[in-house]
Amino acid sequence: MRLIFMGTPGIAVPALDALVAAGHEVAAVFTQPDRPVGRKQTLEAPEVKVAATRHAIPVHQPSKVRNEETRALVASFEPDAAVVFAYGRILPQSLLDVPRRGCINVHTSLLPKYRGAAPIQWAIAEGETKTGVTTMLMDAGLDTGPMLLCRETPIAPAETAVELSARLATIGAGLIVETLARLDEIDPEPQNDGDATLAPILTREHGLIDWRMRAATIANRCRGFQPWPGTWTTLDGARLHVWSCDATPSNAATTAAPPGTVVEAGRDRLVVSAGEGSRLAIRELQLEGKRRMPVREFQNGVRIEFGHRLGGDLSS
């Protein structure tokens, strides 16, 4: 099948590789423009662009997709279908209508749950125990088109968004190849909008720990919001990034302590009170301007004492 591939980050690369390996003719790859990164603001190419170059596939990086120029460029390749995987742009109907067999999106959730930009992160943050990948025919809505195939996978109790993304990338690669192979026999299934949930784009503020939340919720957000925005609080006015943590059994002392209070502070143990009398054990953390380190090493240096309050007063 003659295809256009539209994707940007590394999670989409296995799908592109799989389509090429399956013998499809990928006529062109569309990806977002190179972005400046780091203190020196050096331009860095999207990982999909790097992969496309490796396959000697022409790459196009339009800054806008809602114009006639981009629509005409896509049409010039006369694609049978377009495969879209984490492209990062909402495509207009005029462009969706170009491929003869439509635009097929690879979405990393079990639709209609977690429509939006960050389905992997929010599934973990919300404490889901399973997720998956869904292929769907795109329409002008936000992940609202009819579903083609889906594949489910469990979320491990300690799995982070980084780890789950790697697994879903592989699952998605296999699923899009299967979807295209069976496209003539699949009966698209409309989504039930009543069951839909949203996975909005993450902001830095999503990572701020509200110690009034239950410890299990904070731990889920810690796993889900990696690598960005992470989960963070403050220690004496400085940002304190929590990289790894988990809920731990409560006791009477924790129940009486205001949320955010350090209720255990040993050489290799740091436990903070959270909402509804729950307790959060911090395993790995990073103070602003310092490197990431396990609690034992952190406590040998900065050291957080029993009774210290993290994050200020959130009681109001």
pLDDT reported for residue 40: 87
Assign residue 294 a region: left if phi > 0, alpha if psi is -120 to 50, beta otherwise? beta
The radius of gyration of the chain from alpha carbons, rounded to an integer in Å, stands at 23
pLDDT reported for residue 254: 63
Instruction: Please provide residue 201's backbone torsions phi and psi, each rounded to the nearest 5 degrees.
Output: -60, 140
pLDDT, averaged per 10 consecutive residues of the chain (316 residues), comes to 98 98 98 92 96 98 96 98 97 97 98 98 98 97 97 98 98 98 98 97 97 97 97 95 95 80 93 95 96 96 93 55
pLDDT reported for residue 314: 43
Instruction: Please provide residue 234's backbone torsions phi and psi, each rounded to the nearest 5 degrees.
Output: -130, 145
Q: Which domains does the chain have, with CATH numbers?
A: 2-195 (3.40.50.170), 204-301 (3.10.25.10)
Question: CA of 153: how far to CAs of 50, 66, 132, 168, 219, in Å?
Answer: 29, 35, 5, 9, 21
Residues 6+ apart with CB under 8 A from 90: 142
pLDDT reported for residue 256: 81
pLDDT reported for residue 250: 85
